[in-house]
Structures are given as structure tokens and as C-alpha cells.
């Protein structure tokens, strides 16, 4: 990138898994509003379900997810009873003809569930919803939770894709984040899944962790690629101790600086691409024949609260505390407090804490930001077809940005495209189209 550009890339920026982003959700969206949105889902439409399991049997200090540490199973069993009640409430609120095209179990640690409870959870979903014939079922896995019975259960419930958290294989890094996990344990889980027919494997790596270096992340990438995953996610560690207090247990003096983070990211990405993986959006990679790579090539890549996806469903319904639903009308987030969650569902109320109803302008900006995050650009013609004259203001903003910062954004064949040298900073570019950014007191993680 030319040193002459005057564009200042932000040090921090939202991850843009939604627009507007979660800090701008408000309490004006509740049970009544969400029931209206759910009732408006089209007859016969396929929707996606995200099920949050907010428990872990160890607390990883780097984690920014909503979870709680427990060494007893009783709280988990009690939670499942409330979750089944919420599942029934959502099923009652949706039109009867709605189908489920995708199920994603996240956490926390879904693999903390006993095999019987995992089966009961999927059986409960199937009893309340119609599943499409080709429904996808994905499960996030902590390899240190796994045993033969859990591997059998994951296969038995029809899992089509498994995502394994790796982070980093160096023991010094693992101890610094309270996440000790050997390569041998990870490989055993991957082999066990494949032996049972779960062939689609994702690995999640993280750069920017304490004591990481370019060499250490390169070693982790090499070991990870030896497992031949279908997809690799390469996330930058989000150090947000003001949001997740347990991150204060991480020694900030051991965290790499901004330039070191960028070097780690660049080296890891180069190694993954050299191994034959295609770069997908900002931080994902996939083998050329994987459905995510195919979606990216045909312009069908999407971004939601689970990150990059090839899921074409327009409606995503989150179940469990803190989970977020995305519907045509807007977003709704469940309460994070377990007690409030249980009381709401026991009273027959959707446990919605806050949300955001989209305006016409919000829809335009949401689409532009999603396309930037997925494709590093957007088509002017497509924007006009989708939104008519409402797209004009955002197109004008893009045109002005091109004129002022040609090293960052350029008009090319009817589209506005982020220049290759600026793509690592696409979150900062997307922020230029965020009309809510700077309102309120929200703080964000490092942009690279």
C-alpha cells in the first residue's frame, strides 16, 4: 500500500457479524416483537437453529464467549430442561410449515453433554420442528472433553461437520491461556470422527495469544494442516478484559503488539494458502471443493453470528442464554442471566433481553458491510436492484471514499472493491459505512 494514502486504519473495529452491531441493541425488542417476526417467516421456509450450551468444565482465559465454569453436571441437566421449554415456545411461534435446514451446537462446550443428553437434545428438536432431508448438523468440539461414547453420540445424531478448537499447540502458550491440549489428543478426535463418518472437519486457530511468535504460529499451522481439515479459521485473539473479566488472568506483557500480530496473521495465512486452501473472507480458509469455497466463488458467502457460512437460510434462530437471532425484520438477543432465562421460559415467555428492528437504511448498510466482509466489495447494480434509490447515499459515500483514498477502495467493473493491500483491514473499511459507530461507549477488539 502506498505510504501516500491519508486513510487511517482503525486500531479497533467491530467484527461485523451483524449490522448494527450488538452494542446498539436495546430493550425495545422483546417477546411480543419477536413473536410477530417469527409469525412472519414464510410458509415452508428453511431456517437455521443455533443452540447455545453455556457451560465448560474448565475456563479458558482467552475465551470471550458467554459461558460458565462447572465441575458438576446438575446445573447442565437443569439448564437442558429450560432449553427444551424454549424450543417448544419457538416452535409454537413459527408457522407450522417452517423447516429446519441447519443446526449448530455452540458454546461453551456442547461436548460437555453426556451422550444421552446430546441424543435427547436432537430428538427434542426433531420432535418440535420439521427437518429438511439434507439438514446440516454442526457441533463445536473441545477435544479434551471427548471419549469413545461421545464420539459415537456425535455420529449417531447425524453430525455433518465438526469444529475443533486448537488455538496453539505450544505448551507455553497453552499454559498462558489455561488451555492445555496436545496434538495427539486432537489427532485422536479427528481420526475418531472420520472413522465414524463425520468427514467434514474444521480447525480453529488463534494468533495474538500470549507468548506466541511467528515461528510458534507456523508450527501450529503445520501440525494442524497435517490433519487435513476441510476448513481452517484463523482468528485474532480479542483481548477485552473490560467485557470478560477472566481475561485479566492473562499476562498483558506477554501479548504480542500490533505489528507482531499482523506478522503472525500474514505468515499463518501464507502457509495455509501454500497448502492449497482458498482464502475465504477475512479469516477463513477452505479446500477448493468445500462448500464454503464453492459459495465464495459464486458470490453466495454469508456472514452471521457464527462467522462465515454457506448457510443460505434467511432466518437464524438462537436458543439458549445470550444467543442471538437474526430475522428479516431485525435482531433479538436472549438474556444472559441463567435465572432470568429459566423464569422467562417457565412463564411461557420468549427470553428476549434486547434487540434491534432494522430501518430501510439499516438494510442497505447491513448488505454493503456483509458484502465487504465476504467479497471485499459490492456491486452498484446489485445494490440498486435490491434497494432502489435507498442505495444512493451509500453508493455516494463509496464514490467519495474512492476519490479520497484510491489505495484503499477502487471502482472496478461496476463494483467498489477493497484494494488487495488493504484487505487485512477490511473491518476498518466496513466501519466507514457504519452510521452507528461512535455512538455510545462500546469498545472493540483489535482490528487485525
| Residue 7, annotated as binding a ligand | no
- Rounded Cα distance between 239 and 447, Å, is 11
Confidence band, pLDDT 50/70/90 cuts, at residue 63: confident
Q: What pLDDT score does 4 carry?
A: 44
pLDDT at position 181: 94
Mean pLDDT across 276-299? 96
Give 239's pLDDT tier (boundaries 50, 70, 90).
confident
Q: Is 129 annotated as a binding residue?
A: no
Q: Mapping DSSP to helix (H, G, I), strand (E, B) and coil, where does residue 226 land?
A: coil
Residue carrying C-alpha cell 496434538: 183
The pLDDT of 224-235, averaged and rounded, is: 97
User: How far is the C-alpha of 104 from the C-alpha of 309, rounded, in Å?
Assistant: 11
| pLDDT bucket at 3, cuts 50 / 70 / 90 | very low
Q: Answer positive or negative: Cα dihedral of 305, 311, 315, 319.
A: negative
Percent of the chain scoring above 70 in pLDDT: 96
Checking if the pLDDT of 445 tops 90, the result is no
Cβ pair 347, 340 in contact under 8 A: no
One DSSP character per residue, 381-435 reads HHHHHHHGGGGHHHHHHHHHHHHH-TTTEEEETTEEEE-GGGGGGHHHHHHTT-S
Residue 447: pLDDT above 60?
Answer: no
Per-residue pLDDT at 240: 83
Q: Is residue 62 a known part of a binding site? A: yes
> Is 63 marked within a binding site?
yes
Residue 141, strand partner residues: 164
Please give the span between the terminal C-alpha atoms of the chain, in angstroms, as a whole number.
16
pLDDT for the residue numbered 243:
75
Nearest to 426 by CA among 142, 177, 236, 232: 236
Domains detected in the chain:
1-17+359-448 (1.10.10.920), 22-324 (3.80.30.20)
How does pLDDT run across 107-164, given as a tens digit for each residue? 989 999 999 999 999 999 999 999 999 999 999 999 998 999 999 999 999 999 999 9
pLDDT in tens, 244-272: 888 888 999 999 999 999 999 999 999 99
Q: What is the mean pLDDT of residues 26-32?
A: 97
Per-residue pLDDT, 328: 96
Whether 27 has a binding-site annotation, put simply, is no
User: Residue 320, annotated ligand binder?
Assistant: no
Instruction: Tell me: is residue 140 an annotated ligand-binding position.
Output: yes
Residue 374 assigned to a binding site: no
- Cα–Cα distance between 144 and 311 in angstroms, integer? 28
The CA angle 122-300-272, to the nearest 5 degrees, is 85
Residue 56 labelled as part of a binding site: yes
204 is in an annotated binding site: yes
Phi, psi (rounded to 5 degrees) for 291: -65, -30
pLDDT, tens digit, 9 for 90 and up, residues 338-395:
999 999 999 999 999 999 999 999 999 999 999 999 999 999 999 999 999 999 999 9
Lowest mean pLDDT among 212-226, 257-271, 397-411, 432-446: 432-446
Does 98 score more than 80 pLDDT?
Answer: yes
Mean predicted lDDT score pLDDT of the chain = 93
DSSP assignment string, 147-193 = -HHHHHHHHHTT--EEEEEEE---HHHHHHTT----HHHHHHHHHHH
Reduced DSSP (H G I as helix, E B as strand, rest coil) percent helix, strand, coil of the chain, to 5 = 40, 20, 35
**Is beta strand 316-319 parallel, antiparallel or unpaired with respect to 46-53?**
parallel
Model confidence at 241, pLDDT cuts 50, 70, 90, reads confident
CA distances to 7, 86, 186, 225, 343 from 100, rounded to whole Å, are: 44, 16, 31, 33, 27
Say whether pLDDT at 6 is over 80. no
Rounded CA separation 361/394 (Å):
9
Which range, of 26-40, 62-76, 165-179, 411-425, averages the lowest pLDDT? Answer: 62-76
Burial degree of 46 (CB within 10 A; 0-12, 13-18, 19+): buried
Over residues 166-182, mean pLDDT: 94
306 — pLDDT class (breaks 50, 70, 90): confident
pLDDT tops 70 at residue 441: no
Residue 440 has pLDDT above 80, yes or no: no
Asked if 377 contacts 383 with a C-beta cutoff of 8 angstroms, the reply is: no
Amino acid at each position: 500500500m502506498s505510504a501516500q494514502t491519508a486513510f487511517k486504519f482503525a486500531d479497533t473495529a467491530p467484527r461485523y457479524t451483524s449490522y448494527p452491531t450488538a452494542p446498539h441493541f436495546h430493550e425495545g425488542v422483546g417477546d411480543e416483537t419477536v413473536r410477530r417476526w417469527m409469525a412472519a417467516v414464510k410458509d415452508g421456509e428453511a431456517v437455521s437453529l443455533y443452540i447455545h450450551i453455556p457451560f465448560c468444565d474448565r475456563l479458558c482465559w482467552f475465551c470471550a464467549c458467554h459461558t460458565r465454569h462447572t465441575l458438576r453436571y446438575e446445573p447442565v441437566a437443569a439448564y437442558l430442561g429450560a432449553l427444551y421449554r424454549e424450543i417448544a415456545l419457538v416452535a409454537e411461534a413459527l408457522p407450522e410449515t417452517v423447516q429446519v435446514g441447519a443446526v449448530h451446537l455452540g458454546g461453551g462446550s456442547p461436548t460437555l453433554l453426556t451422550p444421552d443428553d446430546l441424543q435427547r437434545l436432537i430428538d427434542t428438536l426433531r420432535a418440535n420442528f420439521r427437518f429438511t432431508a439434507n439438514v446440516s448438523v454442526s457441533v463445536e468440539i473441545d477435544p479434551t472433553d471427548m471419549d469413545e461414547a461421545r464420539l459415537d453420540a456425535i455420529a449417531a445424531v447425524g453430525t455433518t461437520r465438526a469444529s475443533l478448537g486448537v488455538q496453539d499447540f505450544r505448551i507455553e502458550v497453552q499454559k498462558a491461556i489455561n488451555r492445555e491440549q496436545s496434538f495427539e489428543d486432537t489427532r485422536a478426535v479427528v481420526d475418531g470422527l472420520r472413522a465414524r463418518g463425520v468427514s467434514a472437519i474444521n480447525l480453529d486457530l488463534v494468533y495474538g495469544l500470549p507468548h506466541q511468535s511467528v515461528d510458534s504460529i507456523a508450527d501450529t499451522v503445520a501440525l494442524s494442516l497435517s490433519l487435513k481439515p476441510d476448513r481452517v479459521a484463523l482468528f485474532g485473539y480479542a483481548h477485552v478484559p473490560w467485557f470478560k473479566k477472566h481475561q485479566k488472568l492473562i499476562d498483558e506483557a506477554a501479548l504480542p503488539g500490533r505489528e507482531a500480530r499482523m506478522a503472525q496473521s500474514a505468515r499463518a495465512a501464507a502457509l495455509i494458502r501454500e497448502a492449497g486452501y482458498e482464502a475465504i473472507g477475512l479469516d477463513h480458509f477452505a479446500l477448493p471443493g468445500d462448500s464454503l469455497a464453492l459459495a465464495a466463488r459464486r458470490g453466495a458467502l454469508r456472514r452471521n453470528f457464527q462467522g462465515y457460512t454457506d448457510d443460505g437460510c434467511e432466518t437464524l434462530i438462537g436458543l439458549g442464554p445470550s444467543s442471538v437471532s437474526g430475522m428479516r425484520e431485525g435482531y433479538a438477543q436472549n438474556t444472559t442471566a441463567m435465572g432470568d432465562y429459566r423464569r422467562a421460559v417457565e412463564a411461557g415467555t420468549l427470553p428476549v433481553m434486547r434487540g434491534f428492528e432494522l430501518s430501510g437504511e439499516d438494510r442497505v448498510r447491513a448488505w454493503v458491510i456483509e458484502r465487504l466482509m465476504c467479497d471485499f466489495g459490492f456491486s452498484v447494480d446489485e445494490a440498486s436492484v435490491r434497494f432502489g434509490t435507498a442505495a444512493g447515499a451509500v453508493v455516494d459515500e463509496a464514490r467519495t471514499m474512492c476519490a479520497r483514498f484510491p489505495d484503499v477502495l477502487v471502482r472496478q467493473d461496476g463494483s467498489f472493491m477493497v484494494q488487495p493491500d488493504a484487505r487485512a483491514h477490511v473491518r476498518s473499511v466496513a466501519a466507514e459505512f457504519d452510521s452507528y459507530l461512535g455512538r455510545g461507549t462500546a469498545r472493540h477488539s483489535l482490528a487485525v
